[in-house]
């Protein structure tokens, strides 16, 4: 029996949500059984959606009244063609508990203890256990469990960095249906928090990190402040003053401007890496990392720490984002991460290993983060295209003659070709950055300027391209793009990617500034002027600055530079294209020709 159009539309929407929610549990070896009120025609796109979500499923006609049955591994979805009554069904789950999702009753049972290859354990115990619309307390609990399994170690970032990146990629695949919350939670835990400790810790501090993993403790990374953070070149207002008498540091936000904000996992974390200016005997030694405890054994916040929720977001509400304020917060002497720089407990003397700035080592986490962010953005865009293509292949399009599928509409067809080619090129470029960075991580060396530039380019290009491609796809696939649980509802993940680990605009400014700096000094370094078009743009920027100075001799350096902002961003774009070209094997020979 056919539903009237309006009801079919509602059924479509309902069905796809149910399918996605149920499929989220397939790999978790969860038995799910759902019945929904549906018309037979409405089922076809859902079958396609099921395929798109990676399920091995078969659509079979059930014998009576046009009933169809969709079977998947560990999942059985049955769509029953009846209007009234909506949902009713049995389940074969062993020990089952009930969860209500949008319009469907789902019965499921959890499985097994962790065993086997790390990928298998990580996938089963963590990636597959994710579900849409979880609370932040639920995902925090899940991450604790993942940390405890040890499937990915905090120390993998330097011992097995390829695994560290692979784990990020595995998790990124769930951002389309579950949103970005868990991916951000994971990267904050393993890269920003634990990764910073790995890079900056003494031997005894590394032992504390091992204990943190064994106990499944959560950590956050407190850098950004209301008026400072990664955008300001890691400059912060929070101060850690050494108190020699008591042999401890006193951390103070110094008011609202120094209050940390947007701190991921800030409401649930047990420990934190806090970036604060180190002050000893009145002398400021600049920003340093402190590994501190935020909560006591009973889970209560320790004295001197106040946290609050940043509020609801457009996406990723299964991640807690907090503001964190420190008021006369005392931390022990060994909270200062002191592999490269430390304070003598007794004399208060500040010592530092020559040749390495502590902030360079903290900055390393931004490089690993940028590669992971670039890969996550590309993964999100690719999955959105894959899922949408499955839908548009199955979707009949009226007035299309002998090729009636939506995928054959020329503008969509051509967008698919272009998008897959562009994503493949970017995937391969980012992979080269990952490979080079892994070598530095293993050797515990700071990446050379050329690689730092290449990684900035990877982040800018991958994220900008993912945003552009997903936006264009949305314009071409009609009502599907409005449906919840198709991935389009989580595209704000890409906004998070844009400002995470260094805002793309700030990175673009840096690319242009380095190039212009080399131009004014007439230098030929790795990050300087490398092509005719870059030279031309530098000359235009220089003449705009000169014009501004002629009109107003008192104009500041930044104000004069900002007057050329269009040329500045154009220069950054040109550098991005050239750097990518040089890093992709087929472009290598062309690179030589583009040199001055």
14 is a site residue for ligand FAD (CB under 6 A): no
Q: How far is Cα 223 from Cα 195, in angstroms, rounded to an integer?
A: 14
Q: Taking the complex as a whole, how short is the minimal distance between the CB of residue 344 and ligand FAD, in angstroms?
A: 29
What are the start-end ranges of the E strands in 23-168? 32-37, 57-61, 68-72, 75-80, 97-101, 104-108
- Residue 269 near residue 220 (C-beta atoms within 8 A): yes
Residue of 28, 230, 267, 335 interacting with ligand FAD (CB under 6 A):
230
Region of 92-100, 136-144, 156-164, 222-230 interacting with ligand FAD (CB under 6 A)? 222-230
Name residues whose C-beta falls within 8 Å of residue 508's C-beta, 6 or more positions apart in sequence. 460, 568, 569, 572, 573, 576
Q: Which residue has the tokens 């591994």?
A: 73
**Residues forming a β-bridge with 321:** 264
Spatial separation of the C-alpha atoms in residues 443 and 445, rounded to whole Å: 5
Give the integer Cα–Cα distance in Å for 360 and 427: 27
Helix, strand, coil percentages in the chain from 3-state DSSP, rounded to 5: 50, 15, 30
One DSSP character per residue, 375-442 reads HHHHHHHHHHHHHHHHHHHHSB-TT-TT--BGGGSHHHHHHHHHHHHHHHHHHHHHHHHHHHHHHHHH
- Mark the segment that binds ligand FAD (CB under 6 A) among 112-120, 221-229, 240-248, 396-404: 221-229
Is 233 or 448 the residue whose CB approaches ligand FAD more closely? 233
Q: Which is nearer to ligand FAD, 45 or 180 (CB)?
A: 180
Q: Which residues contact 458 (CB under 8 A, 6 or more apart)?
A: 370, 371, 374, 426, 429, 430, 433
Site map 499..528 versus ligand FAD, x via CB under 6 A: x---x-xx--x-------------------
Quote the least distance from Cβ 326 to ligand FAD, whole Å: 14
Residue 263 binds to ligand FAD (criterion: CB under 6 A)? yes
**Nearer to ligand FAD by C-beta: 151 or 496?**
496
Give min distance, CB of 155 to ligand FAD, in A.
21
Smaller CB separation from ligand FAD, 7 or 226: 226
Count of residues that interact with ligand FAD, criterion CB under 6 A: 20
Q: Shortest approach of ligand FAD to residue 140 CB, angstroms?
A: 14
Q: Which of 108, 186, 221, 385 binds ligand FAD (CB under 6 A)?
A: 221
CA distance 359 to 370: 17
Build a one-symbol-per-residue string for 165-184: x at contacts with ligand FAD by CB under 6 A, - elsewhere.
-------------------x
Binding test (CB under 6 A) with ligand FAD, winner from 264, 268, 470, 527 = 264
160 binds ligand FAD (CB under 6 A): no
Q: Which stretch binds ligand FAD (CB under 6 A): 131-139, 228-236, 415-423, 579-587?
A: 228-236
Nearer to ligand FAD, 343 or 496 (CB): 496
- Binder among 19, 24, 43, 223 for ligand FAD (CB under 6 A): 223
Q: Does residue 259 touch ligand FAD according to CB under 6 A?
A: no
**Interface residues for ligand FAD in 36-65 (CB under 6 A)?**
none
β 248-252/239-243 pair status:
antiparallel
Count of beta carbons in the 10 Å neighbourhood of residue 404: 12
We find the least distance from the C-beta atom of residue 25 to ligand FAD, in angstroms, to be: 26
Paired residues of 324 in beta bridges: 260, 307
User: Quick check: 172 and 373 in contact, CB under 8 A?
Assistant: no
Residue number with CB closer to ligand FAD (388 or 509): 509
Q: Does 427 bind ligand FAD (CB under 6 A)?
A: no
What distance in Å separates the CA atoms of residue 113 and residue 115, rounded to the nearest whole number?
6
Which residue's CB is nearer to ligand FAD, number 297 or number 557? Answer: 557
Nearest CB to ligand FAD, comparing residues 263 and 455: 263
Question: Strand 68-72 to strand 57-61: parallel, antiparallel, or no bridges (unpaired)?
Answer: antiparallel
Give me the 350-369 binding string for ligand FAD, x by CB under 6 A, dash otherwise.
--------------------
Tell me which of 103, 195, 219, 229 binds ligand FAD, using CB under 6 A.
229
User: 107: closest CA among 11, 32, 48?
Assistant: 32
Residue with tokens 């692979």: 166
Phi/psi at 307 (5° precision)? -130, 155
Told to check if 262 binds ligand FAD by CB under 6 A, we report yes
Question: Do the beta carbons of residue 336 and residue 274 sit within 8 Å?
Answer: no
Q: Is 188 in the site for ligand FAD (CB under 6 A)?
A: yes
The rounded Cα 498 to chain-centroid distance in angstroms is: 9
**DSSP state at residue 12:** H
| Residue 496 binds ligand FAD (CB under 6 A) | yes
Stretch that binds ligand FAD, among 219-227, 341-349, 407-415, 422-430 (CB under 6 A): 219-227
| Distance of closest approach, residue 566 Cβ to ligand FAD, in angstroms | 13
Least separation in angstroms between CB 46 and ligand FAD: 31
For residue 396, with 0-12 CB atoms within 10 Å meaning exposed, 13-18 middle and 19 or more buried, which class applies?
exposed
Instruction: Select from 1-9, 67-75, 98-106, 217-225 the region that touches ligand FAD (CB under 6 A).
Output: 217-225
Query: Per CB under 6 A, which region of 115-123, 201-209, 262-270, 362-370 contacts ligand FAD?
Result: 262-270
> Minimum Å distance from CB 460 to ligand FAD?
12
Specify the DSSP element, H or E, that contains 515.
helix 504-521
Decide if residue 139 touches ligand FAD (CB under 6 A): no
Closest approach of Cβ 85 to ligand FAD, in Å?
Answer: 42
Report, in Å, the least distance between residue 471 CB and ligand FAD.
17
In the numeric block, the tokens 């047990």 are attached to 270
341-343 and 329-332 strand pairing:
unpaired
Contact residues toward ligand FAD (CB under 6 A) are 184, 188, 220-224, 229-231, 262-264, 321, 496, 499, 503, 505-506, 509
């Amino acid at each position: 029996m056919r539903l009237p159009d309006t009801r079919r539309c509602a059924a479509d929407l309902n069905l796809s949500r149910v399918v996605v929610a149920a499929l989220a549990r397939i790999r978790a070896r969860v038995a799910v059984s759902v019945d929904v009120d549906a018309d037979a025609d409405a089922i076809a796109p859902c079958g396609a959606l099921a395929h798109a979500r990676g399920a091995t499923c078969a659509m079979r006609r059930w014998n009576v009244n046009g009933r169809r049955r969709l079977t998947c591994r560990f999942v059985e979805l049955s769509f029953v063609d009846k209007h009234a009554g909506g949902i009713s069904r049995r389940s074969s789950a062993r020990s089952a508990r009930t969860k209500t999702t949008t319009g469907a009753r789902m019965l499921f049972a959890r499985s097994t203890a962790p065993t086997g290859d790390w990928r298998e354990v990580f996938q089963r115990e963590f990636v597959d256990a994710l579900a849409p619309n979880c609370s932040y307390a639920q995902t925090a609990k899940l991450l604790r469990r993942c940390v405890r399994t040890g499937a990915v170690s905090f120390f993998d970032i330097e011992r097995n960095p390829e695994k560290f990146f692979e784990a990020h990629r595995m998790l990124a695949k769930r951002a389309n249906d579950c949103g970005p919350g868990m991916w951000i939670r994971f990267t904050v835990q393993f890269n920003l928090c634990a990764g910073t400790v790995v890079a900056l810790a003494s031997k005894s501090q590394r032992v504390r990190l091992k204990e943190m993993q064994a106990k499944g403790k959560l950590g956050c990374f407190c850098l950004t402040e209301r008026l400072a953070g990664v955008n300001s070149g890691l400059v912060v207002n929070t101060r850690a003053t050494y108190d020699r008498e008591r042999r401890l540091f006193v951390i103070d936000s110094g008011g609202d401007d120094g209050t940390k904000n947007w701190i991921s996992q800030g409401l649930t974390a047990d420990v934190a890496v806090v970036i604060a200016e180190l002050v000893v005997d009145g002398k400021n030694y600049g920003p340093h990392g402190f590994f501190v405890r935020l909560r006591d054994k009973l889970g209560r916040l320790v004295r001197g720490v106040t946290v609050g929720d940043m509020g609801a977001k457009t996406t990723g509400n299964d991640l807690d984002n907090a503001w964190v304020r420190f008021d006369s917060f005392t931390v022990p002497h060994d909270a200062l991460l002191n592999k490269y720089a430390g304070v003598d407990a007794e004399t208060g003397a500040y010592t530092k290993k020559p040749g390495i700035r502590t902030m360079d080592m903290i900055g390393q986490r931004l490089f690993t983060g940028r590669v992971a962010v670039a890969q996550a953005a590309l993964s999100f865009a690719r999955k959105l295209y894959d899922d949408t293509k499955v839908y548009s292949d199955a979707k009949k399009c009226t007035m299309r003659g002998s090729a009636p599928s939506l995928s054959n509409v020329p503008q969509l067809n051509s967008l698919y070709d272009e998008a897959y080619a562009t994503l493949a090129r970017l995937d391969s470029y980012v992979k080269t950055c990952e490979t080079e960075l892994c070598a530095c991580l293993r050797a515990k060396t700071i990446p050379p300027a050329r690689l730092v530039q290449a990684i900035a380019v990877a982040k800018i290009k991958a994220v900008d391209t993912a945003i552009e491609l997903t936006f264009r796809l949305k314009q071409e696939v009609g009502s599907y793009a409005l449906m919840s649980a198709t991935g389009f509802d989580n595209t704000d993940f890409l906004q998070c990617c844009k400002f995470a680990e260094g805002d793309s605009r700030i990175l673009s400014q840096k690319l242009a500034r380095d190039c212009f700096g080399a131009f004014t000094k007439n230098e030929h370094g790795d990050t300087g002027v490398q092509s005719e078009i870059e030279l031309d743009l530098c000359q235009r920027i220089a003449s705009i600055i000169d014009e501004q100075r002629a009109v107003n001799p008192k104009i500041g350096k930044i104000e004069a530079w900002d007057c050329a902002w269009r040329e500045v961003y154009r220069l950054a774009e040109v550098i991005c294209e050239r750097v990518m070209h040089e890093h992709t094997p087929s472009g290598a020979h062309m690179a030589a020709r583009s040199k001055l």
